[in-house]
A = this chain, B = another copy of it.
Amino acid sequence: MVSAARTWPSAHPVSVVSVLCAGDADSIESAPVTRLDLDFGGVLGDRHHGLTRPSDTRQLRYYPRGTTIRNRRQLSVVAVDELAEIADQLGLPYLQPGWLGANLLVDGVPALSALPIGSRLLFAGGAGLVCEGVNQPCRLPAELIQAQFPWSSAQAGFVKAAYGRRGIVASVEVPAPLVAGEVFTVALPELHTPPGLRLAHGRRAG
């Protein structure tokens, strides 16, 4: 299930396999729906919907916990091949995208989790999403997966197995309904990186 050529642009067709909504504020689990309605806050009816949200541990190095910040984690996007890789690592027959709280299950984007921040997902129906970065795995899906496969070691192994394979978070640039089967393209951002510039990602300058 690993893409042979992990190169963009890809010759593979790219499509939405399923769309899901996490309608219960008390659980990260999402369930398949016939379509997602978007606005500039994300997926209507999803627990992550909002123009703003309180900052959490992920932003603790940047802002005090609970600071009202713009909501850049509106949608969770996961890939068929990367879910299969996580399942394989855990010795499981499969993983449902809903157990990870995903909103979109996609197929055909090589190395989805490595998509650069600022990349666009441009859907045939007119919607546009912006990649806001890799989704760092947390322990919440582990409990859901363990409950499905009580004989497994998913609870202990999920975070390590999912690292770099848990898909991306995205925000809405252009709202429009999203449906299963919809075709989309991926556009990488234009960059200007002068020769000789070294980057220390994840660290502070100044």
Residues on A lying within 8 angstroms of B by beta carbon are 6-10, 12-14, 40, 51-52, 61-63, 67-70, 72, 108-111, 113-114, 116-118, 120, 122, 128, 130, 132-134, 136, 163-164, 171-174, 184-194, 196-206
Instruction: Tell me the number of copies of this protein.
Output: 2
Give the contacting residue for A192; candidates B114, B130, B188; CB below 8 A: B114
Give the contacting residue for A8; candidates B67, B116, B122, B203; CB below 8 A: B203
Give the CA-CA distance A133 to B32 in the complex, in Å.
35
Indicate if the CB atoms of A200 and B133 lie closer than 8 Å: no
Indicate if the CB atoms of A122 and B62 lie closer than 8 Å: yes
Determine the chain B residues whose CB is within 8 A of the CB of A110 once the complex forms.
197, 205
Determine the chain B residues whose CB is within 8 A of the CB of A72 once the complex forms.
130, 173
Determine the chain B residues whose CB is within 8 A of the CB of A191 once the complex forms.
116-117, 133-134, 201-202
Residue of B whose beta carbon sits closest to that of A117: B118
Give the CA-CA distance A189 to B183 in the complex, in Å.
29
Indicate if the CB atoms of A12 and B114 lie closer than 8 Å: no
